[in-house]
C-alpha cells in the first residue's frame, strides 16, 4: 500500500475534524473535534513513522490527549457555571 494512501486517510480524518471544530458553536463539541484531530495525527504517525519509535510517540500522545480532555472539560464546566452558556460567541469577558 502506498504511503500516500495512508497519509490521505489521516488527512481526511484531520480535515473533517477541523471542519467540525471550525463550524460548531458549542465548547464541548469543539473539544470533541479537537480530540479527533489529535487522533488523526496519531494515525498518520503510526502509518508513516518508523515502527517501534512511532508507536512509542503515539503512546505518549495518548497521555497528552487524556490530560487535554481533563483540563479542557474542567475549564468548560467552570465557564458554563460562570456564564450559563456553552456558546463561545456569548463568552466575551475573561476577567476572573
How far is Cα 35 from Cα 53, in angstroms, rounded to an integer?
22
CB of 56 to other proteins, least distance (A): 4
Local structure of 49: helix, strand or coil: coil
How far is Cα 37 from Cα 87, in angstroms, rounded to an integer?
21
CB of 93 to other proteins, least distance (A): 15
17 burial type by CB count under 10 A (0-12 exposed, 13-18 middle, 19+ buried): buried
CB of 61 to other proteins, least distance (A): 10
- Return the residues of window 53-82 that contact other proteins according to CB under 8 A: 53, 55-60, 62-71, 73-78, 80-82
- Cα angle, residue 46 at apex, residues 39 and 60 outer, rounded to 5°: 65
Report if residue 11 touches other proteins, rule: CB under 8 A.
yes
Positions in the binding site for other proteins (CB under 8 A): 1-4, 6-9, 11-26, 28-29, 31-33, 35-36, 39, 42-43, 46-48, 51-53, 55-60, 62-71, 73-78, 80-82, 84-87, 89
Amino acid at each position: 500500500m502506498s504511503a500516500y494512501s495512508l497519509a490521505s486517510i489521516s488527512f481526511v480524518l484531520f480535515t473533517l475534524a477541523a471542519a467540525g471544530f471550525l463550524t460548531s458553536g458549542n465548547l464541548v463539541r469543539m473539544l470533541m473535534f479537537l480530540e479527533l484531530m489529535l487522533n488523526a495525527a496519531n494515525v498518520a504517525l503510526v502509518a508513516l513513522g518508523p515502527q517501534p519509535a512511532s508507536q512509542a510517540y503515539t503512546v505518549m500522545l495518548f497521555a497528552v490527549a487524556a490530560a487535554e480532555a481533563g483540563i479542557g472539560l474542567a475549564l468548560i464546566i467552570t465557564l458554563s457555571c460562570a456564564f450559563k452558556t456553552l456558546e463561545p460567541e456569548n463568552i466575551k469577558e475573561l476577567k476572573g
